[in-house]
Structure 1
Amino acid sequence: MTLPAPKLDDLTWADMLAAVRRRIPAESDGLWTLHAPVDPGVTLLELFAYLLEQRLYWLDQVPDALVVAILRLLGLDPPRPARPAATVLAVTARRTGTAVPVVPAGTALTRDPAGRIVFTVDDDVAVFPLAEDGEVTVWTGRDRTADLRARRGVPLLAADGAAAEVRFTLPLTGAHPAPGPLSLLFELDAPAASGPDWLPGSVAGVPPPAELTWSWFRPGTETRGPFEKAEDGTAGLRRSGIVRLYPPAGWTTRDSGILVSTPAATHAAPPRLLQLAVNVSAAHHRRRRTASGGELQEQVDAWLKLPGRRLDLPEAAERLLEASLRLAGQQWRAVPDLTFCGPADRVFVLDRTEGALVFGDGLTGRIPHPRQEASAEYTIGGGRDGNGGMTANWVPAGDSTAAITAANLVRAEGGADPETVAEARQRAAASLGEVTRAVTAADFTTLALATPGVAVARAHASLGEHPDFPCTPVPGAVTVHLVPAVPRADPAREDFVAAPRPDPGMLCAVAAHLEQARLLTSEIFVRAPRYREVVLRADLSGDPADRDRVSARLTEALRRFLDPLTGGDDQDGWPFGRPLRPAALLRAAHRALGDLAAVSAVAIGLDGADPDEDCREVPLGPGELPVLRAVRTRIVSAVEPGEGLA
């Protein structure tokens, strides 16, 4: 039974006054005889009861400072600040000569005529000249440019572990040297767990699914070579990201070919390319400002050496994200709150609403001295206002005459308003139910699925399973089998993977995540599932009118029923180790065919064996899953009702 929350302020002013009046005769030995409100003593009792009622009310109120302090003691984040939205901008710059123009990092661009929504470019962008109406071409053994133009998802590298390569030709013109790196956007059809690298919260340091080599070549010739350096924001084509390629000396825009190769394409599924663009940079809804001298000095000179000092920053109201301050050559830093700060700490907290820096009271946080030289560097922006669709009308903020324009190639998203204390309390309460230690089999499964930066669709923890002792349970050993998230919408596609296996980077990431949560005596192994090839034979009673149609529908239904990601009765993947039962397969076949044909029996063959006529179930091991290779159909004579009875 759930206990009700205690209520500490249930004693009212009238209850307290009545209780005190009942005690007057005994406490005064009968000398206090007038208990009416006109008596000064009763007036004082009413006043004290009023004050006590206010104190009782305070007992039930938890101040925000206490909430923040408790969150920090629990090791949880305090109320999170505003978060800036992010997007990817394709930059265009007017050329004033033969040199390739460079748009420097920090350039402020706006899509808002009023100039309030300002995004800044994260990196320098060398704006290489592009052919008018030119487009990126893709070659993966055949020309896939039309598929890329239609955003049909171009599979780049076959996920079969063999050597593979893909070629891109960029629409560059002229023969201009490179003043900076080639900046390319690779937008992939990737799972949500592998979020784009430009969005807030993207996970860094995830091992790549395959080792890629980035090279350049000159189309129509044998001239080629490696790039000096490649900054791969896609993490080996695991997610959407920005790739910055640094050409060597002697490279020109005639060398417009990009070759991506790998000695072993070990992706879980071929990466699907949706868009490839040139001259791009990530941009965030923020703008850096510096204030010094007269903008701040008047406020600093007016300070008194008393608690409660604050410093208002120009144009920062409702938009302040972060700040740093120097007073008399000493650096002051921002903290989430002042609760755990000492009297000598040079700290302040940010007041986003007022756009101000708030200092301590001399006990928690140092009181700043007046009449000191002050300078502040701060960032404004953030919030949900920055989220929005794709537009092509980006211009420099405050300078409409500049020769720079831009278009965002993906939606601006990820912006969030500051978290309130109430929202932080709710987040903390929700975190109490999170699994942080691997104790039970369900804990291992939950933690594997929650590994940041990789898309694990299913996980199965096999207790006692040790790879070196396959026939003997080993105490303390746990083997976690992973099924990665791969596309399942169209089994007829050339890049469909029937038996998805985790890539080496995913195995390493999950193993590192479980290593931090395991018990001291546990030994953890992370492996791919063991797939068992299944061949089925279905006996069709009678003679169907369209046998090819019946065979195709039956094969599709049984493949979907045995699929490791969408199979099973609940359509969330065939359960690990569940045996193959002819009755269950027969039921799935009947559901799929309906009135097209009658299936009288289903026989199962495992690992290349011929389908067995036996009606017994076929067992699978704890970490094993079936993968359907073929369905054979044969026609058997229909059995009439009552036939065969004596």
Structure 2
Amino acid sequence: MPLRTPVLDDRSYAQLRDELVARIPVFAPEWTDHNPSDPGITLLELFAFLGENLLYRFNQIPDATKVAFLDLLGIPMLPATPATGLVRFETKEPAGVLVEQHTRVLAGDVPFQTLREVTAWPIGARAAIRMPVTEELDRETLEYVGRAAAAVGASTTEIRAYRTSWGAYEPMKPGGDVLDPATSIDGTLYVALTSALPDLTALAGGRVTLGFVPESDVPTMQVRALDPCAGEGQAPPSPPMEWQVATVVPVAGAADPATADPIWRALDVVGDTTAGLTGPGVVELRLPADLSDIGVYVPADPEALGAGDQPPLVEDTELQRTIVAWLRVFRPGGGAIPAAESVVVNAAAVEQSVTSTAEFLGVGTGEPGQTRSLVHAGVLGDVVVDVEEQGRWVTWEHVDDFRASGIDDRHVVVDRESGAVSCGDGRRGRVWQVGERIRVRSYRSGGGAAGNVGPLAIKAAPDCPKATVVNDLPMRGGADAERLPDAMARIPAEFRTRDRAVTASDFRELAERAGVARAEVLPLFHPLTPHETAPGVVSVVVWPRVDVAHPTAPRPDRVLLDQVCRYLDCRRLVTTELHVIPPTYRRIAVSVGVTVLPGHGAEAVRRWVERVLRQLLAPLPPYGPAGRGWPLGRRVFAPELEAAALQVEGVEYLTPSPMPGSGCLVGIRLAEETAPGVWSEPLSRSIDLEAWEVPELVAVTVVQGEALPPGQVVDPPTPTGPAVPVRSPLEVC
């Protein structure tokens, strides 16, 4: 039985009027004219009208009451989340520039700050791999390969021919700039350090930070299944990696000193936020204290250049002149480095936030549950709160709630959305005593969708005038604070999930709260064995809110998948194996032939039919058959599409056309792509999807008359003869 909203007073205007008129003989028996023409009756009717309006407002729950309900239930409104990403600094100072932690960088009026200290050196970086050569070579190239093979003492059948492939330098260029060491001949990623300065002695013993962003595209759920959610506090161990720098000293004892390989010296990894180059972040390397033997190795025999264990061959003479050193990284125990979308030097992680320091909150009163407000709302991370107790400052611990707090526990709770700091009530958490001063040493605030700026948007570093800054990739992850209507709508879900993921609806609601447009749950489903039941496994399919590259079939990137994974990991059962995977699309095409009613514009009707079909088959809310996107596994049935097209005003009927392979006449032709550019029309006029699939409408063609073959695009009419331009007439004064 559904819960019904209680009505405190449901009397209508007529009931109020009749009740007032019925009281006239009791209070004013001399009043005998009760007709509508009587002025007194008019005043009673006016009072009844105003009373009905007051009762209507009386039955409404104001926003202030809703906020009070949220406070009583202990359900805080969700704060804004900050956008994050990587930036790189550039400088011409020979001694480098120190960029301190919390340095401001700006994308217009949107502030960001660096999360760690970094030294910007006057160097650049270009990443490369050795790509194997598989195509047939021309005669001149074969001769060059033969000479290079002879120089290293091998035959052409024993060598592994390669070409130097550069990438991860312009990640936003069309088609991407991904560099995959797994496809190279040695599984190694090489980084050439470049500089316009002849002397780099200032780098001796210094720290060089390399920003690494793995390929964000996750093409299939099988690829994602190789990296399941590890669990809260159970992040998988970082795979080992070895960083080395090339010297100009040849290896001792070589059979031919003229073709000897250089010595590679190991580098110390001071810091690594990439978890062994498995995620986006920064790797901090310490260079040797003596750089006298660091440089570009050139063998005595020019035919051996780039062969053996030397750095890759550089054919671009301009780039070759700027290279000052070579770095490389590989897995010591085997395995390849993940595909890289961006590899830059002088990199720093930034966040759309501002750090505030030294705020005086007030003086304690001894009352339970005292609250003090910070200057800035939208608090991020922990807040460092100090309380002066008997002449000395004591740091109080920042906790999520007071449920586990004891009487003497010095705990504070922060409402991140409003910036309110509260103490306990004396039973759960100590209270601020009379006269005790309260201060905040530091906290971060900010966030919002405004931080999701595009590439090259961050261009200003006002606190660092000797360096420039730029972001090669867009900032991601920013979201605005929750609105009150959304918070109210979340209350039933809060009572169902209680912030833990057990049922399928729990996983779906919590995943959508983590920042995705839509989430669907597949219980007992493992992406690597989709046709078998997998006990204890839960797979969550997620769709991003926006995907500029695939607007009709949005796909989440690796960053979003990891974000949902982390959010669900701490809320699932410890016995549940969790996979957060991208959607799997089945590519389909639809072709419609319409007959337009007289008096309606054919072009407008055609466009409306196309829009209705696209919205019906769309994967994201508020579209789809039920407003949540096309359901997983629901078959695409041509008659259902016909019914949607016939609802468009101006469509008289769908023009019948013969269906290939059948004598039936149909109004809509439906096909699926069986091979690139090859479309197959099923005789059943339906496309059955797997339980984990949704349709991707690749092409929809709407024409007057008979429908065209699905997938065929209507070309614009071409002129009958060659096109010749005509100049505008000259103006004569």
Report the residue type matching 2:105 in the other structure.
Answer: T
Q: Distance in 2 between matches of 1:475 and 1:96?
A: 62
Give ranges in structure 2 of 5+ residues lacking alignment: 31-50, 132-162, 225-230, 249-260, 296-323, 544-548, 550-561, 580-671, 680-684, 693-708, 714-733
Question: What is the match of residue 323 of structure 1?
Answer: 383
Question: What is the match of residue 78 of structure 2?
Answer: 80
What are the superposed Cα offsets for residues 271-323 of structure 1, whole Å, 9 maximum, x if unpaired?
253x221011101122323226xx66xx53xx76667965455xx34565453
Report the residue type matching 1:225 in the other structure.
Answer: R
Cα distance change on mapping 1:251 and 1:382 into 2, 3 Å? farther
Answering whether residue 98 of structure 2 is matched by residue 102 of structure 1, we say yes
Report the residue type matching 1:246 in the other structure.
Answer: L
Q: Distance in 2 between matches of 1:514 and 1:372?
A: 37
Question: What is the match of residue 271 of structure 1?
Answer: 339
Identity fraction in percent: 18
How many matched pairs? Answer: 455
Paired residue for 1:143, among 164, 172, 181? Answer: 164
Cα distance change on mapping 1:57 and 1:424 into 2, 3 Å? same
SS in 2 for 1:64: helix
Question: What is the match of residue 480 of structure 2?
Answer: 417
Q: Distance in 2 between matches of 1:437 and 1:219?
A: 56
Question: What is the match of residue 119 of structure 1?
Answer: 112
Paired residue for 2:349, among 259, 266, 282? Answer: 282
Offset of residue 424 of structure 1: 3.2
Paired residue for 2:451, among 375, 386, 391? Answer: 386
> Matches of residues 240-639 of structure 1 in structure 2 within 5 Å?
241-247=280-286, 249-250=288-289, 252=291, 254=295, 256-262=325-331, 263-265=333-335, 271-273=339-341, 275-291=342-358, 299-300=362-363, 311=372, 313=374, 316-318=375-377, 320-321=379-380, 323-327=383-387, 328=389, 329-333=393-397, 350=414, 357=421, 368-384=432-448, 385-389=450-454, 390-391=456-457, 393-397=459-463, 402-427=465-490, 429=492, 436-437=501-502, 517=573, 558-559=674-675
Question: What is the match of residue 7 of structure 1?
Answer: 6
Cα distance change on mapping 1:94 and 1:363 into 2, 3 Å? farther
Does structure 1 retain, via aligned residues, the 8 Å contact 2:355–2:442? yes
Paired residue for 2:190, among 164, 167, 172? Answer: 167
Offset of residue 243 of structure 1: 3.3
Report the residue type matching 2:486 in the other structure.
Answer: E
Q: Distance in 2 between matches of 1:22 and 1:337?
A: 58
SS in 1 for 2:164: coil
Offset of residue 81 of structure 1: 2.3
SS in 1 for 2:470: strand
Offset of residue 167 of structure 1: 1.9
Cα distance change on mapping 1:414 and 1:103 into 2, 3 Å? same
Does structure 2 retain, via aligned residues, the 8 Å contact 1:214–1:258? no
Cα distance change on mapping 1:335 and 1:11 into 2, 3 Å? farther
Cα distance change on mapping 1:60 and 1:181 into 2, 3 Å? same
SS in 1 for 2:489: helix
Offset of residue 557 of structure 1: 6.5
Question: What is the match of residue 269 of structure 2?
Answer: 229
SS in 1 for 2:81: coil
Question: What is the match of residue 215 of structure 1?
Answer: 243
Does structure 2 retain, via aligned residues, the 8 Å contact 1:445–1:460? no
Does structure 1 retain, via aligned residues, the 8 Å contact 2:214–2:278? no
Paired residue for 1:67, among 42, 66, 70? Answer: 70
SS in 2 for 1:170: strand
Q: Distance in 2 between matches of 1:94 and 1:562?
A: 55
Does structure 2 retain, via aligned residues, the 8 Å contact 1:162–1:265? no
Does structure 1 retain, via aligned residues, the 8 Å contact 2:246–2:262? yes
Q: Return 341-350 or 258-267, whichever deviates more.
A: 341-350
SS in 2 for 1:396: coil
Q: Distance in 1 between matches of 2:11 and 2:407?
A: 40
What are the superposed Cα offsets for residues 40-72 of structure 1, whole Å, 9 maximum, x if unpaired?
xxxxxxxxx99xx99986999964354355466
Offset of residue 382 of structure 1: 1.1
SS in 1 for 2:188: strand
Answering whether residue 207 of structure 2 is matched by residue 180 of structure 1, we say yes
> Matches of residues 17-32 of structure 1 in structure 2 within 5 Å?
none
> Matches of residues 48-59 of structure 1 in structure 2 within 5 Å?
none
Cα distance change on mapping 1:370 and 1:411 into 2, 3 Å? farther
Cα distance change on mapping 1:422 and 1:188 into 2, 3 Å? same
Offset of residue 227 of structure 1: 3.1
Report the residue type matching 2:325 in the other structure.
Answer: S
Answering whether residue 152 of structure 2 is matched by residue 92 of structure 1, we say no
Does structure 2 retain, via aligned residues, the 8 Å contact 1:87–1:412? yes
Cα distance change on mapping 1:101 and 1:112 into 2, 3 Å? closer
SS in 1 for 2:486: helix
Report the residue type matching 2:210 in the other structure.
Answer: S
Q: Distance in 2 between matches of 1:570 and 1:372?
A: 74
Q: TM-score, normalised by structure 2?
A: 0.46
What are the superposed Cα offsets for residues 397-420 of structure 1, whole Å, 9 maximum, x if unpaired?
4xx7x4343222322332333324
Report the residue type matching 2:189 in the other structure.
Answer: V
Q: Distance in 2 between matches of 1:345 and 1:16?
A: 58
Give ranges in structure 1 of 5+ residues lacking alignment: 24-31, 37-48, 73-77, 196-201, 468-473, 490-505, 526-555, 564-568, 577-589, 595-646
Offset of residue 377 of structure 1: 1.9
Q: Distance in 2 between matches of 1:264 and 1:477?
A: 33
What are the superposed Cα offsets for residues 368-389 of structure 1, whole Å, 9 maximum, x if unpaired?
3454344312324313243423
Answering whether residue 218 of structure 2 is matched by residue 191 of structure 1, we say yes
SS in 2 for 1:111: strand
Cα distance change on mapping 1:139 and 1:396 into 2, 3 Å? same
Q: Distance in 2 between matches of 1:561 and 1:458?
A: 30
Offset of residue 169 of structure 1: 1.5
Offset of residue 125 of structure 1: 0.9
